[in-house]
Amino acid sequence: TQGDLLVTGFPRRSNGSANGAYAIRGEHHGRPVFQRIGSKGPFIYFWDDRDGESWCGWWLGPILGGAEVWGYHPKEDMMPPEYGWRSPWHGEDSKVIRMSVSGRVSLLEVRPKKKEVVPKWIAEPGFGEALTEDAQLLQ
């Protein structure tokens, strides 16, 4: 099965396997989210430093952002690093875990899209009138 990312070398777990093909399924904290093809999980996702530096990096777990995690990598790259994953997450770097990004996935596809900022008074006609009425009430 082809996908956007291929995971190999993760130890087998009683509640599922992390190994296999993954597809990009969205974005989380400015990086792509990968979900194993043909299943409800696991997910590979990035967590930024909003909860502290020690939580920042790439994670692999049965649900996105869950307390149960199967793997971790501290790098802040745009895509999951190929080598250096830890499983368990607090363990040593594994020499056998590998994440291979497909050659068809370009960084342009996964860069966070910048939202166009449109002032509310342009996006919602009549909003400026409401501001005028509120200002008159304050006088």
- Give the pairing of strands 98-101 and 71-73: unpaired
* pTM given for the model: 0.72
pLDDT for res 122: 56
Residue 17 buriedness (CB in 10 A; 0-12 / 13-18 / 19+): middle
Report CA torsion sign: 41, 68, 91, 81. Answer: positive
CA distance 123 to 135: 20
Average pLDDT, the chain: 80
What is the distance between the alpha carbons of residues 7 and 96, in angstroms, rounded to a whole number?
10
Percent of the chain whose predicted confidence (pLDDT) is above 70: 72
Angstrom distance (rounded) from CA 26 to CA 106: 15
Contact 80, 34 (CB under 8 A): yes
Task: Report pLDDT digits (tens) over 31-46.
Answer: 999 999 998 989 999 9
Does residue 139 register a pLDDT over 60?
A: no
pLDDT at 8 (0 to 100): 94
> Both tokens of residue 106?
């370009």
Q: Are 33 and 64 in contact (CB under 8 A)?
A: yes
